[in-house]
Amino acid sequence: MMMPSAVLLVLSFVGVVVGLASAGSSAHLNIRFPEGQAESFIKALNLVPGAAEVSFIELDSPKLVESPISIHVHGDPDSSISAEQLGQHAGYFRLQNTHASRMFYLFFESRRDKASDPIVLWMSGGPGCSSELALFYENGPFQITNNLTLVWNEHGWDKVSNLIFVDQPIGTGFSYSSDLRDIRHDETGVSEDVYSFLQAFFEAHPEFRENELYITGESYAGHYVPAVTSRIHQGNKAGEGLLLNLKGFAIGNGLTDPEIQYKAYADYALEMGLISEEVRDKLNKLYPACDLSIKMCGTSGKVACVASYLVCNSIFNGIMAMIGNVNYYDIRKECSGSLCYDFSKMEIYLNQPSVKDALGVGHRKFVSCSPLVYEMMLVDWMRNLEVGIPTLLEDGIKLLVYAGEYDLICNWLGNSRWVSEINWSGKQNYSTASTKPFLVQGEQAGIMTNFGPLTFLKVHDAGHMVPMDQPKAALEMIERFTHGGSLEELPFDIIKQVVNDGGM
C-alpha cells in the first residue's frame, strides 16, 4: 500500500538521499532535505530497525534456503488435507547480480489441490511495505487474534492457489542487504530481482513448473506487477532460463498510470461528496503543472520524476487539507495510526523470538514499511507502467484490474480510466463492452467490464484493501480469474445458491 500523507511530511525534514543512476552512466545525484527532527520522527513510527538488532545469513550460503514452517494455528483449515500435511515454507533467496541481497518469501501450498491449482505471487506496495501485511490481514492462510494467536482464514487465497508472498524491493519486511547499493530505485531493478527469484523458486520446486503462474499485488504494486509480468514474458520469449507458465496478472487499487490517475483525484472526491465543485475546479487548476512534470519525468525515472512527485501530490494533499482526518484508504472511516490502520499485532507477533526462529530470519527485526525503500523509489513513482501492458494483452496474457469503491488514494475512477486508455487492438471493443454485475452466490458484489483478456472490476463496499474488506468476493474473484478467465458467476454457483434457498 502507499504510505500515508504523514510520511509525505518526512520530505520536509528527513535527510533524503536519492541515488539516481542514469542509463549507461555512473553519475549520481543526491537530494538532501533538512534533517531537523528526522531521527525522533522515524523512531516514533517504528519503521527502521536498529543496526544492532539485525543479523545476516552468511554470504556463501546456497542461492535459495527454504525450510518448512511449524507454527500452531487454531481451528480447522477447511481442507481435505490435514494441517500437519499442508506444505508451508519460509525462505531466503540470495539474489544474483547484487552485492549482498537476501529476498525473504513465504510459500503456502494450496489447501485444495497443489498439483493443479495455479501459483499466485503476491506483492504489497508502499513502496516498501511488507507482503506480510496482506498475509495476515487480507488474503493469506492465517489471521492474527487479539491474544496474538493464529486462526485459519476462511477466505485465504491458498484455498484455491499455491500462494507466494515476497518481501520486495530489498529492504522491505524481512528482506535485506548489508550493502546499500542493493536498494532499488526503479522497476528494472525490481523486475530483475523478482524474475531471478522465480527462476530459483521453480528450479527448487520442479513439481510446480507446469502450474499456471499469476502475478498479483496491490497499491504501489500497480508498478511492480506490470514490470515483473513483462520481465517474465520477455524471458519466456527469449528462451532465458526456465520457461515459466505465465497466464495472467492482477492489480488491486494500484498506481499504474499517474498522468491519468492524478487527474481523477478531484473528480473522484467530488463524486463521493468529499469536496464541492468550487474546490474541484481549484484543484483542477493545479493539474496542468502536474501533467507537464509527468511528461518531463517520462518513463526513464530521473530527477524530473522527483519534482513531478512533489508537484502532483499537491493535488492529493489539497483534498486531504479539505477533508481532515479521513482514512484515505477507506473514506468511510477515520485515519488512526501511522498507516491509518493498526497493524501493531502483526509487528508484535513477527518479532517474537519463537516466530522468528520458525521463519528462519535470525534476529532481524520486522517492520511493516521501510522509509528508506520508499525514499529510494521516489524517482519511480510518477513513471507510467501501463506502457508494457499492450504487448502482454496482444500475446494473450490476461489482466484483471480491480478496485474498492471507497479508496481515495488509488481510487476506482482513475483506475477505470487508465484501463480504458490502454492502446491495444481491443481498445475499441473494450470501450463499447457492456457493464455487468459481479455476482457472488447470487448477490451483486461489484460491477465489471470485460473484453478478451482485459477485465476491470469495481468492488462494492470495499476500500483500498479489497481482500480485507470483502474477503468472500475477493476469493471468488481470484478463483474465477485464475481458473477460467471470466468473472461472471459460474453456473454451479447459481445452482448452489438455489439449493441453499430450498429450491430444486
Residue 145: how many CB atoms within 10 A of its CB?
12
Amino acid identity for residue 285 in this structure: K
Which of 101, 219, 230, 370 is an active site residue?
219
| Among 306, 280, 281, 282, residue whose Cα is nearest residue 294 | 306
Count of residues making up the chain: 504
Q: How far apart are CA 306 and CA 381, in angstroms?
A: 8
Q: Can 61 be counted among the known catalytic residues? A: no
Assess contact for 348 and 148: CB atoms under 8 A: yes
C-alpha distance from residue 334 to each of 84, 91, 173, 280, 331 (Å): 41, 37, 26, 22, 7
Q: What are phi and psi of 213, to 5 degrees?
A: -115, 130
Question: CA torsion 361→367→368→374, rounded to 10°?
Answer: -110
Tally of helices (H runs) and strands (E runs) in the chain: 20, 14
Assess contact for 10 and 38: CB atoms under 8 A: yes
| Among 3, 62, 9, 51, residue whose Cα is nearest residue 34 | 9
Q: What is the grid cell recorded at 288?
A: 496542468
Q: Can 464 be counted among the known catalytic residues? A: yes
Amino acid identity for residue 142 in this structure: F
Radius of gyration of the chain (CA): 22
The residue written with cell numbers 544492532 in the block is 52
Q: Can 72 be counted among the known catalytic residues? A: no
Amino acid identity for residue 153 in this structure: N
Sort 374 into a burial class: Cβ within 10 Å, 0-12 / 13-18 / 19+.
buried
Which of 380, 407, 416, 469 is an active site residue?
407
Return the half-sphere exposure (C-beta side, CA atoms, 13 A cut-off) of residue 195. Answer: 22
| Among 359, 345, 347, 409, residue whose Cα is nearest residue 130 | 347
Q: How far apart are CA 190 and CA 225, in angstroms?
A: 10
Assess contact for 191 and 234: CB atoms under 8 A: no
Which of 186, 416, 464, 469 is an active site residue?
464
Give the residue numbers annotated as catalytic, written as ranges.
219, 407, 464
